[in-house]
Amino acid sequence: MHAGETIKALLVSLRNSDDAKLARTEFQVVLVGILVVALFIMDAYRFCNNSFVRKTLAILQTVTNPLVIYTVGLIQNITTFGNQFISIWAVLLYILESGTEYLCAYSLTNFSMRRRVELKELLLTFFTANLIATTGSKFHWFLWVLWSMGPIMIIYKLISFELARESYSYGQNSKLMVEYMKNVFLQNQHAQPDPIGMRGYKYLVRGEDAQEIRSQAPSFQVELNITNQRKLITLEKVWNCPGHLLTTLDQKLSIRDVCLSYALYKLLRCQMIELSLPRKCQDMTQKLIFEGVLHGRNDKRVFNIMEMQMAFLMDYYYTRIPIGVWYGYPLIKFVTLLVTVVFGCLLAFDVHKTEPQEDDLYHFIKGLNVDRIITYALLVSIAVKEGWEMILYMLSDWTKLVVICRYVEGSWFLRNRLAERIILLLCRSNVVKRWHNKMGQYNFLESFNYKPWVKQALHYGTLHIIRKPIEGGKVGKNIKIFQEVKQSIVDALVNINDDNLMNSMPPSLYNRGIRNSNRWACKQETFSHLILVWHIATSMCEIQLFEDTRPERSSSKSFLYKLKTCWMKPHAFIVDLKSLESNTSSHYIVANSISRYCAYLLVFVPELLPDHILASEQVFLGTITDARNILGGCHSLGSVLAKLKSVEGGTEGMEGNQAITIVQKGAILGRELLADLEMNTENLWKMLADFWVNLLLYLAPSSMTEVHKSHLFGGGEFITLLWALFSNCGIFDRADEENQERANSIVVQEREPVNQVPANGAAGGEGQGTVNQVPANGAVGVEGQGTVNQVPANGAVGGEGRGTVNQVPANGVAAGHEGQGPVNQVPASGVVPGEEQVTDNQEQGEAGEEQQDEIEEPNNIEQWDDSKEQELEIEEE
């Protein structure tokens, strides 16, 4: 179509004639068809971390259904024109749009969204049926058959939704998993698990629905009574399957890892809805990950398992129903696909034979019937959409999981060489990426002068619909996570395992490898201070490396250089990696990418960091102000580096000195690192790489599951992968270095103490156990042989058995210990209720003499509160 004809068609559409009405309807049909196809294509990127793609997808999901309903209404008004193709458009748009409804982001627990989507589907179904019934189209038999596919799939999805929601293999699985894991460990208390051969790992994969589920009085707890052993698939059974596929063809464990990822995903779901798994289960999972998955330090396998686990989790929370649990989906989808394609082809053939009558209203351009072309385009779009849905289903991780489990069950039609080759090919094929594999970036020294006045105007002009931009927060381009970064993470995880993690990260993990002269920079007020100080220092080292390695260019070559580089893909870093040695390049990539990623987390997603979000914002904004005061007038990275090098100050009295700003501390640290003659370039970047890797791992554990869950819709952050890994291991917090040192100095009866209950804390344990790290206002009860250390302020730990309560600070309460054990040193205003034979050593000198080798005494015993002392109910032995 020429430009003149296009303008003419637009002018015609503005008139109120029959021609104009038909032109407007044609335009509306084409527009809606394009939007629906775009929505379907963009579904492959629904977990992309690009904000533009996510917002575009959200807009398409919002406007598509209303536009289709509006278009069907337009078609209803022009059915008297005698155009036989108009009613076909309404049905084809209905079929095309209804196929995208399963893309809507709601889970089994999101009933409000579910109701809205169902209502929209029913409205559109009714309007389309009414149009077919009232138009009297000559194609009505074809249209009724095609229309019926929509209600069939709607009813089927509603039934599947309810079945999945009530299913113990999916919707109710977490409650069942907790009870099952408790019973498994009670039955196998003395078994020694093998994390490589999976012996003893009876983690459920599939088959719960094939067993007897019972709930009996008085507890009414859900119990799994195994009645069909063949259908119950566990990790141990998968790894010990004698089939040729898993013993010979799966040497890289890629097939079995699908089941492993799914089993870990089920355990993680329990953690996300705050259902506590047995401590031994978390210990076994920790052993499985650190001694099994990390065995061999294969970063590709480790991250493949983590990404697959995250993909299962994202499908559970942010897709309508994972198609792996749709009952009978392959059969019903194949039937609907076959019917749609066959009747679509018959309809297309009939449309091709239909010639317009004299009184009928059609549009022709250069002899071509525009309405017929639109009909063909819609039919082709539906065929492609149905085929694409089938491909997505066949190559999804859910299908792979079902097929592998059926193979492990011993299904006869899968235990042959041809079927095994097909399964192997299926498991190695991926149509859509499981995870975006990118990390955000932010460079403070490049962005501190950023003033987003345009975005601020849009923010206020749209009444805060557009998010308010951050002063000095110019986000960098997301970069692909380098293989060097993944390998460094894996190596660091292996090294962490040597620390006997228990339920918290080792204290000051990021201190390792830092020279003594630079350790002052690791002792900051908050993690926000720590990140910014080291990020500024790392950026200074990067600028210096750029100055040292950039080639000298003469003026005669500068034009050719610019002409060449203008067509090159922009680099993630300012330093040319080719100019560096291999080891230096690897360390530089790791240190710089993670440094910028941690800064990105601080500025744009501070809720994922341990500091309070308001504290992080205030620290960052204060640092921006300081940077503008210190670095004002600097217009290049070279001038910024020179200015930072000239910042006055030294490391004397640096600790605890709040008068020195973050920018000054970063400048002093960067100057020290660059001036250290004992470190060459490779060693410098190795130290920085080790620091940033360890710091990222130290920041990852968290008990804020809802925050990480909310970020899954955008694909999840890189730190979310690490959080999921630590959560599976039962690691939700970080050990404080000072408290850890004090805890290590305390030895209690039978070497299983209850250590350090801070202010207003209460500690106890059942059995011979130690109490470890309960957050503020938290209450932890431990059964069996467990360790609980460091109960913070207002934390309460109750239990029974032999235990010793040591070092209860001011206002502390150590309670709930039944049995023999001394209670030592309760400071001022402390209350220690106990039962049965308990010894109260109230005098510091006596306690120090009797337990010199066991306990380190505080010096505030004289601060006893007499009123509190009267409340003690202790029987002295």
DSSP states of 114-159 as a string?
HHHHHHHHHHHHHHHHHHHHHH--TTHHHHHHHHHHHHHHHHHHHH
Q: Are residues 280 and 178 in the same domain?
A: yes
Q: What is the average pLDDT value for the chain, to the nearest integer?
A: 77
pLDDT tens sequence across 154-200: 888 778 777 877 888 888 888 899 989 988 877 776 678 899 999 99
> Identity (one letter) of the amino acid at 768?
Q
If you search the block for the tokens 């106990």, which residue do you land on? Answer: 834
Spatial CA neighbour of 724 closest among 743, 708, 741, 744: 708
Can you point out the beta strands (E) in 249-381?
Answer: 364-365, 368-369
- Mean pLDDT for 422-451 is 91
Q: Are residues 616 and 688 in the same domain?
A: yes
Q: What local confidence, expressed as pLDDT, does residue 304 receive?
A: 95
Statement: residue 102 has pLDDT above 60? no
If you search the block for the tokens 């790992």, which residue do you land on? Answer: 201
Q: Is residue 453 part of a domain?
A: no
Looking at 728, 756, 785, the residue that finishes a domain is 728
Spatial CA neighbour of 206 closest among 164, 168, 150, 244: 168
- 218, exposed or middle or buried, with CB in 10 Å at 0-12, 13-18, 19+? exposed
Spatial CA neighbour of 664 closest among 622, 615, 619, 630: 630
- Mean pLDDT for 541-548 is 94
Determine contact, residues 35/64, Cβ cutoff 8 Å. yes
Q: What local confidence, expressed as pLDDT, does residue 593 receive?
A: 97
Angstrom distance (rounded) from CA 804 to CA 820: 8
Statement: residue 47 has pLDDT above 50? yes
Most confident region among 160-174, 188-202, 210-224, 339-353 by mean pLDDT: 339-353
Q: Are residues 538 and 665 in the same domain?
A: yes
Q: Are residues 642 and 711 in the same domain?
A: yes
Determine contact, residues 816/764, Cβ cutoff 8 Å. yes
What is the band of 110 on the pLDDT scale with cuts at 50, 70, 90?
Answer: low
Q: Are residues 701 and 624 in the same domain?
A: yes
Lowest mean pLDDT among 96-110, 322-336, 661-675: 96-110
Helix, strand, coil share of the chain (percent; to 5) = 60, 5, 35
Catalogue the long-range contacts made by 362-370 (C-beta closer than 8 Å, 24 or more residues apart).
362/83, 362/85, 363/19, 363/22, 363/23, 363/26, 365/1, 365/5, 370/26
What is the band of 216 on the pLDDT scale with cuts at 50, 70, 90?
Answer: confident
The number of CA neighbours under 13 Å toward the Cβ of 733 is 16
Q: Is residue 760 part of a domain?
A: no
Q: Is residue 283 part of a domain?
A: yes
Angstrom distance (rounded) from CA 729 to CA 284: 8
Point out which residues pair with 214 in neighbouring strands.
223
Spatial CA neighbour of 308 closest among 272, 263, 342: 263
Q: Are residues 93 and 241 in the same domain?
A: no
Tell me the two tokens of residue 279: 């401590």
Q: Are residues 112 and 191 in the same domain?
A: no
> Identity (one letter) of the amino acid at 770?
T
Q: Are residues 43 and 125 in the same domain?
A: yes
Q: Which residues contact 250 (CB under 8 A, 6 or more apart)?
A: 256, 424
What is the band of 621 on the pLDDT scale with cuts at 50, 70, 90?
Answer: very high
Q: Which residues contact 747 (CB under 8 A, 6 or more apart)?
A: 753, 853, 854, 855
What is the band of 320 on the pLDDT scale with cuts at 50, 70, 90?
Answer: low
Angle, to 10 degrees, between the axis of helix 483-496 and the axis of helix 582-604?
80
Angstrom distance (rounded) from CA 258 to CA 426: 12
DSSP 729-762: TT--SB--HHHHHHHHT---GGG--EE---TT-B
Angstrom distance (rounded) from CA 854 to CA 841: 14
Strand 796-798 relative to strand 222-225: parallel, antiparallel, unpaired?
unpaired
pLDDT tens sequence across 466-524: 888 999 999 999 999 999 999 999 999 998 876 666 667 777 788 888 888 899 999 99
pTM, entire model: 0.79
- 246, exposed or middle or buried, with CB in 10 Å at 0-12, 13-18, 19+? buried
- Mean pLDDT for 595-609 is 96
- Mean pLDDT for 3-14 is 61
If you search the block for the tokens 């870990």, which residue do you land on? Answer: 264
More confident residue, 556 or 742: 556
Q: Is residue 559 part of a domain?
A: no
Q: What local confidence, expressed as pLDDT, does residue 140 receive?
A: 85
Q: Are residues 255 and 138 in the same domain?
A: no
Determine contact, residues 850/833, Cβ cutoff 8 Å. no
Domain with 528, as residue range(s), is: 474-549+570-728
Lowest mean pLDDT among 209-213, 225-229, 565-569, 615-619: 565-569
Angstrom distance (rounded) from CA 229 to CA 207: 9
Q: What local confidence, expressed as pLDDT, does residue 48 receive?
A: 76
Q: What local confidence, expressed as pLDDT, does residue 552 receive?
A: 61
- 78, exposed or middle or buried, with CB in 10 Å at 0-12, 13-18, 19+? middle
Looking at 357, 372, 394, the residue that finishes a domain is 394
Distances in Å between the alpha carbon of 373 and those of 206, 346, 367, 741, 874?
A: 49, 16, 12, 78, 92
Q: Is residue 755 part of a domain?
A: no
If you search the block for the tokens 């089994």, which residue do you land on? Answer: 108
Q: Which residues contact 42 (CB under 8 A, 6 or more apart)?
A: 53, 56, 57, 60
Tell me the two tokens of residue 653: 């009295």
Q: Are residues 312 and 333 in the same domain?
A: no
pLDDT tens sequence across 661-719: 999 999 999 999 999 878 899 999 999 999 999 999 999 999 889 899 888 877 889 99
If you search the block for the tokens 């978390």, which residue do you land on? Answer: 282
Q: Are residues 95 and 73 in the same domain?
A: yes
DSSP state at residue 289 = I
Lowest mean pLDDT among 556-565, 688-697, 749-758: 749-758
Q: Is residue 535 part of a domain?
A: yes
Angstrom distance (rounded) from CA 786 to CA 283: 10
Q: How many CB atoms lie within 10 A of CB 197?
A: 12
Tell me the two tokens of residue 162: 């309810």
pLDDT tens sequence across 406-434: 999 998 889 999 999 999 999 988 888 88
Determine contact, residues 49/715, Cβ cutoff 8 Å. yes
Q: How many helices (H) and strands (E) are present in the chain, helices listed first? A: 31, 14
Q: How many CB atoms lie within 10 A of CB 274?
A: 10
Share of the chain above pLDDT 90, in %: 34
Looking at 348, 364, 394, the residue that finishes a domain is 394
Most confident region among 19-23, 254-258, 319-323, 805-809 by mean pLDDT: 254-258
Determine contact, residues 95/149, Cβ cutoff 8 Å. yes
Q: Is residue 178 part of a domain?
A: yes
pLDDT tens sequence across 236-285: 999 999 999 999 999 899 999 999 999 999 999 998 888 888 888 988 99
Tell me the two tokens of residue 650: 């030294």
DSSP 238-251: HHT---HIIIII-T
The number of CA neighbours under 13 Å toward the Cβ of 310 is 29
- Mean pLDDT for 98-102 is 62
Determine contact, residues 874/841, Cβ cutoff 8 Å. no
Tell me the two tokens of residue 44: 């492959």
φ/ψ (deg, to 5) at 782 = -120, 135
Length of the chain: 877
Determine contact, residues 760/793, Cβ cutoff 8 Å. yes
More confident residue, 319 or 547: 547
Spatial CA neighbour of 92 closest among 62, 128, 61, 118: 128
Angle, to 10 degrees, between the axis of helix 256-272 and the axis of helix 397-409?
110
Q: Is residue 76 part of a domain?
A: yes
Q: Are residues 281 and 363 in the same domain?
A: no
Q: Which residues contact 115 (CB under 8 A, 6 or more apart)?
A: none
Domain count for the chain: 3
Tell me the two tokens of residue 239: 């790894």
Determine contact, residues 856/748, Cβ cutoff 8 Å. no
> Identity (one letter) of the amino acid at 36?
V
Tell me the two tokens of residue 656: 């605890």
Q: What local confidence, expressed as pLDDT, does residue 409 receive?
A: 93
Q: What local confidence, expressed as pLDDT, does residue 654 receive?
A: 62
